[in-house]
């Protein structure tokens, strides 16, 4: 499946899916966010059959900031059937993301 940008109408269906979903809230003007994207792409390939990987541009989707309590970026939120099971802020390398995801698979 890979890393996908998602539209608001599809977000609820995606986080309610049978697979856990990792959301990456980012901005194109944020250096740590730009550094996070390649890591997310690698993880999306590695876990393509087990986890949905979604990126959300906060400049285009500001309505999600309050809904999910995003005040800093990058913010990564892991959902399982629409329930938030882990939320982390800041850049996370592949090893850190592997630990986070593996704990819930």
Report helix, strand or coil for 15. Answer: helix
Catalytic residue at 59?
A: no
According to DSSP H, which parts of the chain are helical? 8-15, 31-46, 63-67, 94-102
Measured CA to CA, the distance from residue 50 to residue 80 in angstroms comes to 11
Of the residues 15, 22, 23, 33, only one is catalytic, namely 33
The answer to whether residue 74 is catalytic is: no
Calculate Rg over the CA atoms of the chain. Answer: 12
Q: Which of 27, 30, 48, 98 is catalytic?
A: 30
Closest of 6, 22, 19 to residue 88, by C-alpha: 22
Cis bond before residue 74 (omega within 30° of 0): yes
Catalytic sites, residue numbers: 30, 33
């Amino acid at each position: 499946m890979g890393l996908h940008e998602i539209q608001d109408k599809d977000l609820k269906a995606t986080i309610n899916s049978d697979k856990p979903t990792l959301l990456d809230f980012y901005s194109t003007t944020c250096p740590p966010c730009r550094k996070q994207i390649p890591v997310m792409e690698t993880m999306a390939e590695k876990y393509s059959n087990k986890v949905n990987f979604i990126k959300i541009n906060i400049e285009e989707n500001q309505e999600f900031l309050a809904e999910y309590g995003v005040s800093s970026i990058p913010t990564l939120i892991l959902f399982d059937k629409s329930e938030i099971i882990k939320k982390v802020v800041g850049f996370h390398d592949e090893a850190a993301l592997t630990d986070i995801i593996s704990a819930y698979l």
